[in-house]
Structure 1
Amino acid sequence: MDKITRKTSFGQWFSPINFQLFEEQVKTKKLDYYTKKLTTESFLKLLLFAQLQEVESLHALGDCLFNDQLQKGIDLESINISQLSRRINGLNPELFQCLFLDLVAQIHAKTHYTKLVMPLKIIDSSTLPLNLTNHKWAKFRKTKAGVKLHLRLVFMEKGASYPEKVVITTAKEHDRGYLDYERFDRMTDDGYFFLSRLRKNAVIREVYDFKLPNDSTVLSDQMVLIGTTQNRAENYFRLLKVMDSKGNELQLITNRFDLSAEENSEMYKSRWAIGLFFKWIKQHLSIKKFYGQSEWAIQNQVFIGIIVFCLHVLMQIETKSKRKTLQISRYLRAALWKPAHILLRKIEGKAIP
């Protein structure tokens, strides 16, 4: 990021977005044909503003355009609510997904690992509830509707993390193979490591019982074969029994025999990072109430929310700041229309002249 800039803090924050790629996509998909006012670029910036400020509805978002600085920042003076609604419901989410993946590539390029041979990646899913009356296409129980966010999160050193891959489905779809014996075999054969929680009813045959240190917090450490005769993994794996923070016994399965039982147990605890991300998505981004009712509208808003998170991470990396993304978000909202250097110095912890 160029720190000598006349951009506003808002403009500096979203500057990593690849607008050349964006414009190519808009042109290819002919998204601005016959558009006189609400261009796709203005719409993107307006949605970024809405997510950042947690604007609760399209009507409230339209009212925000009374602000002269917002009008200048997104090149739009006013907008009809019906136009916003048509855009959010009719825009193919592939556009925003493309921007998200480009931001992920930028984070990859700017992230360096010193202790890990490969970054730790955490896979999980979370359901975002929807109103059944307005979202019958997302019905998954008699009285409920929702979408499921399937996520792969990269856990970086020093506790920071960012989403790497996102798939959005209806909530009735089962989790995407997180506990899959065939996948465990494939990953092991291909040289990848994994660590996963095993179901209590899993069929296990003990092969060897490793001795644990007297002061170990791990309950047991074994080499095992998993699965039935008809459906069994081919490789030997390691089964660890540990206690969670609530006193419940957990079974962890892994192919990492090079780490100690304690190191594997500690690695599993890093999965709290994906829980924090889902909490961020649900609490700090404006998807508690969706702007549209179509499947595309829901996906568009989720991808915008994730783009916001990635932009925070990039600002965190560029400023080499130890501040959490939530703190960066607060500073940004407070300095939205101030010169960018004021925000950057605040995030860096430097005095503002």
Structure 2
Amino acid sequence: MDKFTRKTSFEQWFSPISQIKLEELVEIHQLNYYTKKLQMDSFLKLLLFAQLNETESMRDVHLKLFSDELQQVTGLESISFSQLGRRLNQVSTEVFQQLFLDLVAQIHEKSQYEQRRKITTPLKIIDSSTLPLNLNNHKWAEFRQTKSGIKLHLRLIHVEKGRSYPDQAALTNAVEHDHGQLELLVDDKECMYVFDRGYLDYKQFDQMTDDGYFFVSRLRKNAAIRVMEEFKLPEESTVLTDEMILIGTTQNRAENYFRRIKVADTKGNELQLITNRFDVSADEIAELYKSRWAIELFFKWMKQHLNIKKFYAQSEQGVHNQVYIAMIVYCLHVLAQLRTNSPKSYLDISRLLKAAPWKSAHLWIRKISGKAVP
């Protein structure tokens, strides 16, 4: 990590956000025009600090500026919560999305993603999670009779045990079906995609197979199946059956042959997996599907440790902005871990940062890396 003497821990954590990229976005979207006080750089730092500390309302964000250190970092002595709210609603979500993607590119570089993919097939996991909203405040996101909600569709890169990070996301109203986002999240033929049965779509499975994309997913119990061939399993295999199948009814049938693998979960329940890969063992396919748990852990982490339970804004744009800010915070934790070769978890990195955000950065780095920093 870069050597320095004057940065605070918070400023060092924030430093991967490219000022050049931010200035370009500010200019493109004219974000600082007619803005005397709340410049975008200051606003972004304030939002990230609030998200890091799970601040629940704009009024609470406004009160955070009683801190002399936060005033110094943001260049703001005070700002009303109404101004903060208006700003959040006005900034285009594309701004936060581009900053998120820029951090993902840095994670790719630091984790040597391109070098890794030459050795092994990258695993990308796709899933979604519904974020509930207050129906009275967010009528545009009507979901059920008594509540509103948005859905975060996410693609997660699973690098190794204990390390994964998001690299693509889409936000929709919660009523929209998952499989409608699959085409957007599948764009790399040199990867293996893993997703759950919410994305089942026989036509898309055919299209992915014809286009050269590999996947493993889960079938519903009542799926119409015609077994064409059963493969012999090795004696030590934990898989129940391995078959080549045709899937669907006469009216709605996939054109390609697929592979069905039956496995038992930890509770003894039978799961039916479907894949278009025939060149790896059934046990390897079963292990690939187990990796899907990484995205469940990611969503759990976000909901427990970032502020996406209570939303500052009532507008669609403001809500989407807050979700992207949360993912930016997560990516900054990933980069802090990579840049320091830290053995600490993202949660530990976050806790140590929150405990002493204004201490000298080298003290925070020493804490998270477990060694002295020259």
TM-score above 0.5, yes or no: yes
* Percent identity of equivalent pairs: 66
CA contact (8 A) 2:365 2:373 kept: no
Q: For structure 1, which segment, 194-203 or 127-136, has the greater mean C-alpha deviation from structure 2 after superposition?
A: 194-203
- Find 1:162's aligned residue among 162, 165, 186: 165
In the alignment, the residues of structure 2 paired with residue 193 and residue 268 of structure 1 have an alpha-carbon distance, to the nearest angstrom, of: 13
Q: What is aligned with 1:190?
A: 211
Flag the 1:259–1:322 CA change in 2: closer, same or farther, 3 A: farther
Q: Deviations along 1:205-262, whole A, 9 cap, x unmatched?
A: 1111112233432221111121223332232211011122233221100122222211
Q: Give the alignment's Cα RMSD to 1 decimal.
A: 1.7
Query: 1:143 aligned to 2:164?
Result: no
Normalized against structure 2, the TM-score is what? Answer: 0.90
Given the alignment, which residue of 266, 282, 299 partners 1:245? Answer: 266
Say which SS state the counterpart of residue 37 (structure 1) adopts. coil
8 Å Cα contact 1:220-1:242 kept in structure 2: yes
SS at the partner of 2:161?
helix
Between the two proteins, the alignment pairs up a number of residues equal to: 353
Q: Residue 290 in 1 paired to residue 320 in 2? A: no
Separation in 2, partners of 1:324, 1:116: 26
One-letter code aligned to 1:325: Y
| In 1: Cα distance, 2:161 partner to 2:3 partner | 25
Distance in 2 (CA, whole Å) between partners of 1:283 and 1:240 is 34
Mapping 1:28-39, distance limit 5 Å? 28-39=28-39
322-331 vs 92-101, which moves further: 322-331
Does the Cα contact within 8 Å between 2:219 and 2:274 map onto a contact in 1?
yes
Map 1:214-293 → 2, pairs under 5 A: 214-293=235-314
Match of 2:128 in 1: 125
CA distance in 2: counterparts of 1:3 and 1:191, whole angstroms: 45
Letter matched to residue 174 of structure 2: A
Letter in 2 for 1:191: G
Residues 3, 344 of structure 1: 8 Å contact kept? no
Report the more deviating stretch, 31-40 or 186-195. 186-195
- The aligned residue for residue 71 of structure 1 is 71
Distance 1:41 1:4 in 2: 21
| 1:346–1:352 Cα contact (<8 Å) kept | no
Q: CA deviation at 1:26?
A: 1.1
Which residue in the other structure is 1:335 paired with? 356
- Structure-1-length-normalised TM-score: 0.95
CA distance in 1, matches of 2:313, 2:12: 29
Gaps of 5+ in 1: none
2:189 is matched with: none
**Aligned equivalents of 2:212, 2:120: Cα separation in 1:** 12
2:332 is matched with which residue: 297, 311, 318? 311
Structure 1 distance, partners of 2:343, 2:203, is: 40
Q: CA deviation at 1:349?
A: 1.0
AA of the residue aligned to 2:139? K
